[in-house]
Structure 1
Amino acid sequence: MNPSPALPLLAMASAALCIAAASGALPPSLAFVFKPLTTLLVIAWAFTRGAEVPVQRRRILIGLWLSLAGDVFLLWPGQGFLSGLVSFLLAHLAYIAAFSVPVRFGAKPVVFAVYGVVAALILSQLWSDVPSALRVPVVGYVVCLACMAAQAAAWWRSAPASPFARRAAIGGALFMASDSLLAINKFASPLPLSALWILSTYWVAQLCIAASLPPRGRAGA
């Protein structure tokens, strides 16, 4: 029996349990189990896909493994923040490389300009609250995040009929939304139901990125 169709459902169930733990509805210690488990399930699903696009598959899997490292570091949001930031920055570089397989990097300058403006606006609203020691790595991270989302959208603009490109674009946009909410919650003011909004958008983003790989027997576009 092919386990692939069950893996996204298991990932969503694990994500719900992690969100409940992070929100206090379940013992907080359960987040240490379900947070890495959710991303591991996304990795397992991505592993079953993309055989027809091996280079892109390898780069997305690298990005997911780096994301898993970031998830683990951020279980300690104080001392693990910088390590988590670097892990996710590297993950975004891997995703940029993956989304540059079907279309060259920067192929749609207007898309990059739009994401650049959005990123700059968000960063400008938070800048005064970011500690000086974190400003350089935060700027580097925001640039990589915006480029990842823009490159995914550029792939979709180049192949609008491709469901895989569309999923990548949605994943990139949701990743940017999730990290924007995380930054607001950390540096500006606490958000109501922050774990729900931050983690749900994050894992839907990762599932969309995994789904940008074609299933067995279908070529990418």
Structure 2
Amino acid sequence: MASVPQPLSLPTPRPAFAFAAALAAGAAIAGAVLAAPAAADGWRVLHWIGKPLATLLLLGLAWRTGWPLSWRYRRRVCAGLLCALAGDVLLMLPGDFFVPGLVAFLLGHLCFLAAWLDDSRLAARPAALLGCLAAAAALVALLWPGLAPALRLPVIVYAAVLATMAGQALGRAAWHAAQRDALAAPARWAALGGLLFMASDSLLAWDRFRAPLPLAPLWILGTYYPALWAIARSVARSARTGDA
């Protein structure tokens, strides 16, 4: 009797990387929330270790995905995660490294944007892009009184790039969903990551330039790491992707 064909089994993102990244992210968040102000106590050291370690592990998760959408897509996402890792480190260094950290994350968003453009045109869904740009413009307007003159142009540029990245991710997901093609599921992960990244950076900017948020690290990092995880998860093919 002829054997029944088995469903296509695809390698999934490495669970060990995901679990270790979750532990490191939890340590980073707990350390930031519980650390004494301006003190290098044990909690702050835990944060210093956990924050870049979580990002590094998510980079490893993306890089070791067994069956990526494409090698080029994976390289671009990993380049973006590497820039995020650099930004994490720069923002933890003693001294004012806010602008260098901003530049590192800006380069990361450009890498993510390049990944989204690998299989969709820019502004595939104009409403998604315009909506994200409008939200970013509204946030910058609210932050404007608290921005030092030297930071205004960098913040405008960063907000525009971040919103373009998130808007493109959302539009790409909507386009693939409408096509009902094999990239719809991975594109949804990328869109979730883009929107969470925008939320995390908006919370960070509000806390820094507008008004302190209660338990700010909890909300900022609590959206940042899921954003990176979703973006790393978007590298893996779904079961319907096949050999495309």
- Shorter-chain TM-score range: over 0.9
Q: Which of 190, 196, 199 is 1:168 aligned to?
A: 190
Counterpart of 1:8 in structure 2 is 18
The answer to whether the Cα contact below 8 Å between 1:8 and 1:42 also exists between their aligned partners in 2 is yes
| CA positional deviation for 1:5 | 1.2
What is the number of equivalent residue pairs in this alignment? 220
| CA positional deviation for 1:143 | 0.4
Distance 1:216-1:117 versus aligned 2 partners, 3 A rule = closer
Counterpart of 2:39 in structure 1 is none
| Aligned-partner Cα distance in 2 for 1:216–1:172 | 19
| Aligned-partner Cα distance in 2 for 1:109–1:205 | 22
Counterpart of 2:9 in structure 1 is none
Counterpart of 2:209 in structure 1 is 187
Q: Which of 87, 101, 105 is 2:104 aligned to?
A: 87
User: Aligned partner of 1:136: which letter?
Assistant: L
Q: Which of 51, 58, 64 is 1:48 aligned to?
A: 64
Q: Which of 164, 180, 205 is 2:227 aligned to?
A: 205
The answer to whether the Cα contact below 8 Å between 2:61 and 2:232 also exists between their aligned partners in 1 is yes
Distance 1:111-1:8 versus aligned 2 partners, 3 A rule = same
Structure 1 outlier segments of 4+, above 6 Å: none
1:116-161 Cα offsets, whole Å, 9 max, x none, are 1111111111011011111111111000000000010011011115
The answer to whether the Cα contact below 8 Å between 2:186 and 2:238 also exists between their aligned partners in 1 is no
Matched position secondary structure for 1:32: helix
Alignment of 1:1-221 (within 5 A): 4-24=14-34, 27-49=43-65, 50-76=67-93, 79-160=96-177, 161=180, 162-215=184-237, 219=241
Distance 1:154-1:78 versus aligned 2 partners, 3 A rule = farther
RMSD: 1.9
| CA positional deviation for 1:76 | 3.3
Matched position secondary structure for 2:96: coil
The answer to whether the Cα contact below 8 Å between 1:53 and 1:219 also exists between their aligned partners in 2 is no
The answer to whether the Cα contact below 8 Å between 2:13 and 2:233 also exists between their aligned partners in 1 is no
Identity %: 43
| Aligned-partner Cα distance in 2 for 1:67–1:218 | 30
| Aligned-partner Cα distance in 2 for 1:21–1:31 | 4
| Aligned-partner Cα distance in 1 for 2:127–2:239 | 34
Structure 2 residue runs of 5 or longer lacking an equivalent are 1-11, 36-41
The answer to whether the Cα contact below 8 Å between 2:55 and 2:85 also exists between their aligned partners in 1 is yes
TM normalised by structure 2 equals 0.85
| CA positional deviation for 1:182 | 0.1
Distance 1:62-1:218 versus aligned 2 partners, 3 A rule = farther
| Aligned-partner Cα distance in 2 for 1:163–1:217 | 10
The answer to whether the Cα contact below 8 Å between 1:170 and 1:205 also exists between their aligned partners in 2 is yes
1:44-68 Cα offsets, whole Å, 9 max, x none, are 1001225341111100000000000
Rg larger in 1 or in 2?
2
The answer to whether the Cα contact below 8 Å between 1:112 and 1:150 also exists between their aligned partners in 2 is yes
1:87-138 Cα offsets, whole Å, 9 max, x none, are 0000000000000111011222111111111111111110110111111111
